[in-house]
Amino acid sequence: MTAMLEVRGISKRFGGVQANTDVGLALPESAIRCVIGPNGAGKSTLVSMLSGHVRPDRGTIRLRGKDITSWPAHRVASAGMVRKFQRPSFYPDLTVRQNLEIAVLGSGLRRRALAVRVQEVAESVRLGDALDDPAAHLPHGRTQWLEIGLVIGRRAQIMLLDEPTAGMTPGETMMTAGLVRELVDTQGVAAIVVEHDMGFVRALEAEVTVLHLGRVIAEGPMSDIEQNAQVRAVYLGEEVA
């Protein structure tokens, strides 16, 4: 089976800092991949390269066989790989409905079909009851869902979720894991999730890629990763133990 997303040997250097070295990754259709690693491991740079916000110095990124390495962010997103940023990024002064409309408009729907689709997306991210609230009034956890809603609304085939549970309560974190799992299972999207929260990563039951100092040091199911001596040494030893 060929991978939906195939990343080969991408590297990026910022001034004197080597953020990523020779990172590779293959994501099958409708799969979840978690990217973990200690601070400064190069997780965010990897996401930025995938989303087109940062151009790799070397290597290629292929989406369904198409080389998208040098595409600008808006083209990558319209090709189906849509990013949720680490810091909050939505339209706080617009209502939830208007927020989602912006995302859905990209699919060319108008009027009735648009409204129906917005409703669908809102319900799929548990915001069906808040459509006419200003986004700024949502509690923090729900703004994260709104942002996932924006990604879904854009008909993402691959969701790039950069720390989707940052600042959430443990309960919200688990609900978010359920939400991501459900979206992947029911809507057939794939997801790349950058996370710190190990409970969340376990709950997703997905393949894990571990980054350390910009390199991939391990890859596999979470249960294997947790046994990996190198990973334990650089990372899990500090955070999970």
Partner 1 sequence: MSDDLGGTRIESVRRHPAAAAARRWASGENIAASVVFVALFYVPYVFAGYPVFVLPQYMLFGILAMSLCLLWGLGGMVSFGQAAFFIVGAYSMGIAVHDIAGALGPWAGIGLGVAIAAAAAAAVGYFLFSARVRDSYFVLVTLAISTIAQVVANTASGVTGGFNGMFVPKVALDLPGLALSLQSDLTAYYVVFLLTLVTYVGLRTLQRSAFGKILVSIRENEERTESLGYNTALRKTIAFAISGGVAALAGAFYATDAGFVSPDLGGVLFSTNVVVWVAIGGRQYFLGAIVGAIGISALSNQLNAWIPTYWQLLLGLLFFVVIAFFRRGLVGTLLAIRPSMRRAQ
Q: For residue 143, how far is the Cα from the chain centroid?
A: 15
Tokens (6 digits) for 176: 């978010």
Q: Tell me whether residue 101 or residue 207 sits nearer to partner 1 (CB atom).
A: 101
Per the CB < 8 A criterion, the answer to whether 193 and 86 are in contact is no
CB neighbours of 181 closer than 8 A, spacing ≥ 6?
32, 203, 204, 205
Q: Tell me whether residue 154 or residue 212 sits nearer to partner 1 (CB atom).
A: 154
Minimum Å gap between C-beta 79 and partner 1 is 8
In the chain, how many H helices and how many E strands? 10, 10
Minimum Å gap between C-beta 73 and partner 1 is 6
Minimum Å gap between C-beta 219 and partner 1 is 27
Q: Tell me whether residue 43 or residue 154 sits nearer to partner 1 (CB atom).
A: 154
How many Å is the Cα radius of gyration of the chain?
18
225 half-sphere exposure, CB direction, 13 A CA radius: 25
Minimum Å gap between C-beta 11 and partner 1 is 23
Minimum Å gap between C-beta 105 and partner 1 is 5
Q: Tell me whether residue 30 or residue 78 sits nearer to partner 1 (CB atom).
A: 78
Q: Edge-to-edge strands of the sheet including 58-63?
A: 17-27, 5-14, 58-63, 66-67
Tokens (6 digits) for 22: 């020779």
Minimum Å gap between C-beta 205 and partner 1 is 28
Q: Tell me whether residue 151 or residue 216 sits nearer to partner 1 (CB atom).
A: 151
DSSP of 217-241 = EEEEEHHHHHH-HHHIIIIIHHHT-
Q: Tell me whether residue 101 or residue 197 sits nearer to partner 1 (CB atom).
A: 101
Tell me which residues touch partner 1 (CB under 8 A).
Answer: 51, 53, 72-78, 82-83, 85, 89-95, 98, 101-103, 105-106, 110, 131-134, 137, 150, 154
